[in-house]
Structure 1
Amino acid sequence: MTDASVTLNSAKLAADDLFRRKRLIALAVPALALAYLVYIAISFDVAGLTRRASLDNAAILASDTWSYKVHVTRDNRRGGTTYAIEGERKGTYEKGTRPTWINEESDDALIIDLGEGHVVQFLPDNAAVYDVPRFGRIETQLVDGSIRTNLTEPIPDWINLSDKRITITTEAGRMSMTRTRTEVLRYFAGWEMFWFTLDSPYHGRSFTEIAVGDRIDPTRGNLSGAVSDIWNNGMWRHKDVAWAMGETILMAFLGTFGAAIIALPLAFLAARNFAPLALVRGFTRRIFDFLRGVDALIWTVVLARAFGPGPLTGALAILVTDTGTFGKIFSESLENVDEKQIEGVSSTGAKPLQRYRFGVIPQVVPVLLAQILYFLESNTRSATIIGAITGGGIGLLLTQAIQTQKDWEEVAYYIVLVILMVMVMDWFSGWLRGRLIGRKD
């Protein structure tokens, strides 16, 4: 066999071996990915989560974000019926008044028209009847502390029944009966009483009536009274929300710029061209690693134990974390400065501080400001979560609204405000960056 044949065979074997390895890799990568997905499905119990998931509850939750409920509640112990929007005291109809879709025949009997053929009747002796189209008449009554109905097996999945409680949920509304009360909820689109509560004289008035109409409240002007009632709205708490938004922005502002002020002088100690001692550089860099290595949420919990809850604790948590991050970013920027500019300032007889001020700072200011403004925008979002832990800002109101699980339209309202706040901060930081640094078209 000639040398050429040996070379050709070696090349063929090498090519076959290369193709074999590529085929193995092509099969192994999808197999590993599939195995990993199977592991995730088992460890996170995806099958169990699928079985426990309730699309009906998800649909109700989603509808609650853009609609409100009117509660018709009868006290099964003391008697009497109340009508309230979202069950709130500020949304309770005055005695003798009620929504137009409720016909009150007597103190113990009334007819509630839920629309689309759904009708609920409150009857004497703690009895109620729900006429459901395409299903029939559901009769319920509280007898000796137990719920009695005319329902027979099988019970539809939209009816939750026990001897202590019955809940009927349809597309028109919801009815429930317990030992203490019988309640009907009817849904309406929108955020009711967003501007004025029922106890405000401006509720139900048009903008024209308030702006140019006759005086509605004899004790105050229309515009001043309307603004006061909106600002002090007891259901939507516009005054508290505005204060909370200010606290959130303040936490982000103080934390971000406080961290920048602290990190800048420390960054000189971590930069190789400004701190020749390796021990000093190493120690400063380890401090930065420690500060940014612990997440801001962990610092929030630690500082809350030391200083108590409040927006100041949130600002300190952001400050501590960003000091480590800014220290690393600033020191890397300092290491990349142009030495010729520093030498030019030194040739004028400038002292060390003057060399830093006129030879170093002008070079790094654009990078530093860009990073600071970016982190200001990012920390505005982070301050929402931090505020939920420290008890300050819009995050606290959002957490409270989620935990109560009562008025999800308030949750949607707070989320919309957070999104708008982030958008405004994004625009503001971009505008400020353009004014301070310059903007290239």
Structure 2
Amino acid sequence: MSMMADTQLTSQGLKDQAEGLFRRKKMMAFALPALVLIYLTYAFFAFDVPALIAKADPENGRTLVRDSYSYKTHVTRDNQSAEVEIAIEGERKGEYAPGTSPDWVELGETTVITLPAGGIVTFGPEEISYDIPGYGLVTARPGNDGANATFPTDELPEWINASKNRVAITTDEGRLTITRRKSELFRYSMGWELFFFTLDSPYHGMGVGEVLSRAVSGEAGEILDDFWNNAMWRHGDVAWALFETVLMAFLGTFGAAIVALPLAFMAARNFSPFVVIRQVTRRLFDFFRGVDALIWTIVLARAFGPGPLTGALAILVTDTGSVGKMFSEALENVDGKQIEGLQSVGAKPVQRYRFGVIPQVTPVLLSQILYFFESNTRSATIIGAITGGGIGLLLTQAMITQKDWEEVSYYIILVILLVFTMDWFSGWLRRKLITGDEGGH
């Protein structure tokens, strides 16, 4: 009876334990999602997300997306002198020569602009008009007393913004803005205009076949020069900026590896018997990697001024901490038997490190260095925007102007291609250096 009672008590105890464990797990299963939901609710109101949504302007978003894959031709009339200028993106380096225009603009005493959907804009000697399909004729007589616009309806649609001194009409065809001093039409067209040759190049407007024929006929140098020194797209400057970005990543990453390797021996438990030296070195690593690279960039920019070298130093300082920590951990995991074998044949400490330690950790170190190099290629884009170097600087300048978003798209595509290339290159190099495999297997 006593044994049965003990068995029953034991079974009851195990059952109570199991039920208690189940209750705790059940509470955790409900409590954790509830805590996450509470936090997300708090964050939703703490960051005032409803106000951000209310302020959001979908039209600005659509304009930005449209600008990324299209370009604007500006047809501008000086309302005082009646002179008309036509320029791609409104830039002098994309300006049509006097008396020339695209085929949808007819110059004359009255300039007639035919838009893709059938709308017609006229810049007359005194009157500006826009015949909008499905709406009617809008006219304006700009002068010192205002835009003086008249509309076919009393109630204006939302795509017309009109006041006494300014009228803005935005349709899918383009945008017409009329003020007292200037009338300007933006016409959107698909593509990246003048990407290869600017308007003043003799090769502008030629087909691919004709350009190749000219190149084969001995004009390859001139064609390449016109493309490389394109004033609108600055291909030569962009290529140099990409080189600066890779150079910042290279100098920063491999400089950090050179600095971190000897320090890693001082931080490794099995190579540095002095606790004080180990702790000081490890705290130094923590300090370097505990401060973000962007902060180091700002600090070093104050000390050394802007430039790619400052960006490389910022990467070097940050990666010295991260790489040094990983190097020291790799050193602590080396096989001591090889070192003991070298010691038994009379090898000196430097020789033991060179032939007993370095060969063991080299695959890990190279793999990590190449990974950091690949990662820092992306980071160098952001760092370059702060230090004034690399593709990051061009990307920031294009974003600040907020007019040539096709250039932003161009730079972003180049950065993505650069990252793809560095990913492939680092993978190939790892296989070649570590395993001796040059293929993809």
TM-score w.r.t. the length of structure 2 is 0.93
Q: Supply the distance in 1 between the matched residues of 2:145 and 2:351 (Cα, whole angstroms).
A: 86
Q: Which residue of 1 aligns with 2:171?
A: 170
Q: Which residue of 1 aligns with 2:402?
A: 405
Among 282, 302, 319, which residue is 1:322 paired with?
Answer: 319
Q: Which residue of 2 aligns with 1:391?
A: 388
Check if 1:62 corresponds to 2:65: yes
Q: Supply the distance in 1 between the matched residues of 2:214 and 2:249 (Cα, whole angstroms).
A: 44
Q: Which residue of 1 aligns with 2:55?
A: 52
% same residue: 60
1:141-290 correspondence runs (5 A): 141-151=141-151, 154-213=155-214, 221-290=218-287
Check if 1:95 corresponds to 2:92: no
Check if 1:366 corresponds to 2:363: yes
Q: Supply the distance in 1 between the matched residues of 2:382 and 2:389 (Cα, whole angstroms).
A: 10
| Letter aligned with residue 204 of structure 2 | H
Check if 1:305 corresponds to 2:302: yes
- What per-residue deviation string (whole Å, max 9, x for no partner) do you get for residues 194-249 of structure 1? 11000011111223323334999xxxx52111111111100000111111111111
| Letter aligned with residue 121 of structure 1 | T
| Letter aligned with residue 80 of structure 2 | R
What SS is found at the alignment partner of 1:129? strand
Structure 1 stretch displaced more, 18-27 or 182-191: 18-27
| Letter aligned with residue 433 of structure 1 | R
Shift of 1:24: 4.0
Q: Supply the distance in 1 between the matched residues of 2:311 and 2:160 (Cα, whole angstroms).
A: 45
Q: Supply the distance in 1 between the matched residues of 2:322 and 2:375 (Cα, whole angstroms).
A: 13
Q: Supply the distance in 2 between the matched residues of 1:215 and 1:257 (Cα, whole angstroms).
A: 43
Shift of 1:333: 0.4
What SS is found at the alignment partner of 1:265? helix
Q: Supply the distance in 2 between the matched residues of 1:46 and 1:114 (Cα, whole angstroms).
A: 40
Structure 1 stretch displaced more, 403-412 or 92-101: 92-101
Q: Judge conservation of contact 1:211–1:222 (CA < 8 Å) in 2.
A: no
Check if 1:129 corresponds to 2:129: yes
Segments of 5+ residues of structure 2 without an aligned counterpart are: none
Q: Which residue of 2 aligns with 1:28?
A: 31
Q: Supply the distance in 2 between the matched residues of 1:142 and 1:308 (Cα, whole angstroms).
A: 49
Change (3 A) 1:401 1:351: same
Structure 1 stretch displaced more, 112-121 or 390-399: 112-121
Q: Supply the distance in 1 between the matched residues of 2:75 and 2:159 (Cα, whole angstroms).
A: 20
Q: Judge conservation of contact 2:69–2:406 (CA < 8 Å) in 1.
A: yes
Q: Which residue of 1 aligns with 2:140?
A: 140
Q: Which residue of 1 aligns with 2:89?
A: 86
Change (3 A) 1:277 1:214: closer
Q: Supply the distance in 2 between the matched residues of 1:16 and 1:290 (Cα, whole angstroms).
A: 47
Change (3 A) 1:195 1:320: same
Q: Which residue of 1 aligns with 2:291?
A: 294
Q: Judge conservation of contact 2:253–2:376 (CA < 8 Å) in 1.
A: yes
Change (3 A) 1:8 1:262: closer
Q: Supply the distance in 1 between the matched residues of 2:58 and 2:173 (Cα, whole angstroms).
A: 17
Change (3 A) 1:135 1:262: same
| Letter aligned with residue 212 of structure 2 | A
Q: Judge conservation of contact 2:144–2:180 (CA < 8 Å) in 1.
A: no
Change (3 A) 1:356 1:145: farther
- What per-residue deviation string (whole Å, max 9, x for no partner) do you get for residues 62-98 of structure 1? 0111111111000123320011111122221111111
- What per-residue deviation string (whole Å, max 9, x for no partner) do you get for residues 84-137 of structure 1? 11112222111111111112341xx22111121211121222x32112222222
Q: Which residue of 1 aligns with 2:415?
A: 418
Shift of 1:23: 4.8
Q: Which residue of 2 aligns with 1:353?
A: 350
Change (3 A) 1:15 1:360: closer
- What per-residue deviation string (whole Å, max 9, x for no partner) do you get for residues 329-352 of structure 1? 000000000000111111221111
Q: Which residue of 2 aligns with 1:110?
A: 111
Q: Judge conservation of contact 2:384–2:390 (CA < 8 Å) in 1.
A: yes
Segments of 5+ residues of structure 1 without an aligned counterpart are: none
Shift of 1:397: 0.2
Change (3 A) 1:20 1:330: closer
| Letter aligned with residue 318 of structure 1 | I
| Letter aligned with residue 334 of structure 1 | L
Shift of 1:279: 0.4
Over the aligned positions, Cα root-mean-square deviation in angstroms equals 2.2
